[in-house]
Each structure stands twice: as structure tokens, then as C-alpha cells.
Amino acid sequence: MTRYSRITGTGSYLPPRRVTNADLASELAARGIETSDQWIVERTGIRARHFAGPDVTTSDLAVQAARHAIEAAGIAAGDIDLIILATSTPDMVFPSAACIVQNKLGIAGCAAFDVQAVCSGFVYALVIADSMIKTGAASKALVIGAEVFSRILDFNDRTTCVLFGDGAGAVVLEASDTPGILSSDLHADGKHVGILCVPGTVSGGQVLGDPLLKMDGQAVFKLAVGVLEDAARAALAKAGKTAADIDWLVPHQANIRIMQSTAKRLKLPMNKVVVTVDEHGNTSAASIPLALDAAVRSGKVKHGETLMLEGVGGGFTWGAVLLDF
Ligand code: UT7
């Protein structure tokens, strides 16, 4: 019998501190930096984001999201035999945040590792988990996207600091006789390293270079729109489907205008697109599972529907996963 993988539970967690555009604008004004709710809403669709408290780490957010996903799947934490955590803001250089989450869940023994593909990280992690389940290397995987992006923001740079937020989303992916994940399409092109990066590193006990996020927003925007359409079409073709078969597009939540362009190119109406960027901002690797969980818990996304999950971000990396939920 063919072995497939299927999402059996979703979960998410946002740190409690909700910061509106107006809150952020007044914080930035105190530094002599001008921005406005109107600019942020018109250019991005973002109205608010959540910021974690100073002592809260990625694994703290991740473990909350993981617990919700495990509960929704109706399994015990001890049943998990693989943890993959996508993040660019791990608690420490090593060990991985996935190992820290494993311990916080009170379990031990199963494989656990982080994936670093920035905003495409969750899609990458899901594809790896799907592959490991299909080969029999795992049966019940916990796949998490979690970030404290506020830690790598330059609050003196209004072109980036208004865009991002903190949070975590997770899914339980289990072996199944019937297909859940139908197809996927992953890519990277390292020649675009410079348009979205945190160029600093730790060496010899020192931070070398600049440890805060740098982005050429317009260059990222242009690339994102094209590759998101290509990845979606490639994943559809591999599954023998067309865009008309998509019930819900669950895209990376970076900018409402990118989502609108992608939907238009795929000829999907916006009422088939899950949008949470207004309330979450861009939470990088956490954005897709956060959006998915919000849509599931609000009753929008239902079992049996066909979903297209799509991510794009630093690297440059991008990818899509088509699945029956
Ligand atoms: O998750 C990874 C993927 N990341 C993305 O997908 C981000 C992709 N890029 C974008 O979303 C958009 O390019 C941005 C939202 C970052 C910027 O929007 P834009 O429409 O490309 O604006 P722009 O960079 O062309 O800036 C327009 C103006 C500039 O002023 P001038 O030069 O026209 O006088 C900026 O200085 O807006 C100014 N500006 C701001 N004004 C008020 C830039 N940031 C701000 C701000 N508040 N926060």
C-alpha cells in the first residue's frame, strides 16, 4: 500500500503584546523616525503585529503552538517521532530550537532539527517531513515554524521594522493510507543573498558584521510575485491539477499586495486566499502555519479541501506544497 502523509492537527501561538501601527508609529516618533498607520496599511495591509517579551524565545512560542497542534491531532506528545522546526531566530547558535522544544514537550529520543530557509522555512520543513514519512523514517511528525523576528529588526530603519512580527505555528503530519500532501516544488537561488539578509555572524566570541535585518523591499517584491506563481503552477502540474482545484491559497504573509498579485496571476478570487498579515505582520517561517491554524480554527478551511501553501524569502528561497486537508 502506498504510504502518504496527512496533516491531522494544527496549532499556533502569538505572544500577548499586540502592537498596532499607531503604537509603533509613536514609538518610532520618539526616535525621530516618521511613519504612519496609513502608509503601513496602504503599502502592506499590516495593521498590527505581536512582539514577544524580552525573555521569551522562539522555543517558548514554538512549544505552545506544538501543544495546540498535538491536542488537535488527538495524539500524545510521546507519539511524536520527528520534530522539524523552521526558524531564522533560534534560541542559540546551537543546539537547535527543535531539540529545546523536544525537551520542553517532555519527550526524548526522536530526531529533531531546525531548517533555515527564512520565510520559506515552513514549506521546506513540511516537504522534508513528508519525504521522511513516505520513506518510513517517521510516522508522526511535528512541523513547526517559529520566530522572534523582533530581535533582528533595526528599529532605526522604517523600511523594515514596521513589517515583521513574532509568533509560531505548527502542524502534526502523520502517515496515512490516503493522500494528504499531493505534490511540492522547492527552489533557491543564492545569487540574491544580498536583497534580504542579516549579514552578521558570531565568531571568536564576537558579533561580526551587522546582526540586524537588511532588505531591498522592491527587489524582493518583484522576485516574489514571479516565483510564487511559478511554484504554484509547478506543484499543480505535478499533481495533475489546475488552479481551479484550489479551495484555499495559504501564502506567506508578507504583504497583501504580493498576495493579491499571486492570486490574480493564478486567477483565484481573493475570497480563496487566507489573509492574516493584517493582524500578524510578517512572521517569516511562522506565517504560513499561523495563517493555516487561524483559518482552520475559524472554520474557513475544512477537511477534504485542497490547499496550496506557498512561501518565499531570504536565500532567495521559495516553494509550494499542494495538499488535501
Ligand atoms: O518575508 C520576506 C519577503 N519580504 C517581502 O515580501 C517584502 C517585499 N517588499 C514589500 O513588501 C515592499 O517593497 C515594502 C512594503 C517593503 C515597501 O513598499 P514600496 O511600495 O515598495 O515602497 P518603497 O520602498 O518604494 O518606498 C516608497 C516611499 C519611499 O519614500 P520616497 O523615496 O518615495 O520619498 C520610502 O522612503 O515610502 C517611504 N517609506 C516609508 N514611509 C513611511 C518606506 N518605509 C516607510 C514607512 N513609513 N515605514
Q: Rounded CA gap, 73 and 69, in Å?
A: 6
Ligand 1 geometric centre to CA of 34 (Å): 13
The tally of CA atoms less than 13 A away on the side-chain side of residue 58 is 31
CA of 48 relative to ligand 1 center, distance in Å: 17
- From 39, 88, 159, 282, give the residue whose CB has the most ligand 1 atoms within 8 Å, as the site to mutate: 159
**What is the rounded distance in angstroms from the CA atom of residue 237 to the CA atom of residue 243?**
10
The arithmetic mean of pLDDT across residues 89-100, rounded, is 98
Query: E strands along the chain, which residues?
Result: 4-13, 18-20, 48-50, 82-86, 111-115, 140-148, 166-176, 181-188, 196-197, 201-203, 206-208, 214-215, 248-251, 306-313, 317-324
Give the atom of ligand 1 at the shortest distance from the alpha carbon of 224.
6
Looking at ligand 1, which residue's alpha carbon is closest to its atom 45?
159
239-297, pLDDT tens digit by residue? Answer: 999 999 999 999 999 999 999 999 999 999 999 999 999 999 999 999 999 999 999 99
Q: Over pLDDT 70: what percentage of the chain? A: 100
Atom of ligand 1 nearest to the CA of 313: 2
Q: Where are the domains of the chain?
A: 4-176, 181-324
Q: Yes or no: say if 323 and 173 are a contact pair by the CB < 8 Å rule.
A: no
What spacing in Å lies between the alpha carbon of 82 and ligand 1's midpoint?
39
**Cα 319 to Cα 69: distance, rounded to the nearest angstrom:** 23
Pocket of ligand 1 contains residue 158 by CB under 6 Å: yes
Host H or E run for residue 289: helix 287-297
295 CA → ligand 1 middle, Å: 28
Instruction: Specify the ligand 1 atom closest to the Cα of 160.
Output: 16
From the alpha carbon of 220, which atom of ligand 1 is closest? 8
283 Cβ inside 6 Å of ligand 1: no
Cβ of 255 below 6 Å from ligand 1: yes
In this predicted structure, what is the pLDDT of residue 130?
Answer: 98
Architecture (CATH level 2) of domain 4-176: 3-Layer(aba) Sandwich (3.40)
Verify whether ligand 1 is closer than 6 Å to residue 39 (CB atom). Answer: yes
> pLDDT grade, residue 171 (50/70/90)?
very high
Going by pLDDT thresholds of 50, 70 and 90, the confidence category of residue 18 is very high
Contact yes or no for 9/79 (Cβ under 8 A): no
- Neighbouring C-beta atoms of residue 316, cutoff 10 Å: 23
Q: Which three cell numbers stand for residue 244?
A: 481551479
Q: How large is the average pLDDT for residues 228-232?
A: 98
64: helix, coil or strand? helix
Strands 111-115, 82-86: parallel, antiparallel or unpaired by DSSP?
A: parallel
Indicate the CATH number of 181-324 among 3.40.605.10, 3.40.47.10, 3.30.1280.10, 3.30.1370.100.
3.40.47.10
Using a 6 Å cutoff on CB, does residue 43 contact ligand 1? yes
- Gap between the Cα atoms of 191 and 98, Å rounded: 29
Let me know if the fold of 4-176 is the same as that of 181-324.
Answer: yes
CB of 12 closer than 8 Å to CB of 144: no
Scanning 30-177, the segments in alpha helix (DSSP H) are 37-44, 58-73, 97-104, 121-134, 158-161
pLDDT band per the 50, 70, 90 thresholds, residue 4: very high
Q: Which set of grid coordinates corresponds to residue 12? A: 499556533
Tell me which residues are annotated as active site. 119, 252, 282
pLDDT, tens digit (0-9, with 9 covering 90-100), for 25-66: 999 999 999 999 999 999 999 999 999 999 999 999 999 999
pLDDT at 1: 81
Element (H, E) at 279: helix 277-280
On whether the CB atoms of residues 60 and 286 are closer than 8 A, the answer is no
Q: Is 25 in the pocket of ligand 1 (CB under 6 A)?
A: no
Please give the Cα distance from 322 to 181 (Å, whole number): 6
Nearest residue to 213 via CA among 197, 202, 232? 197
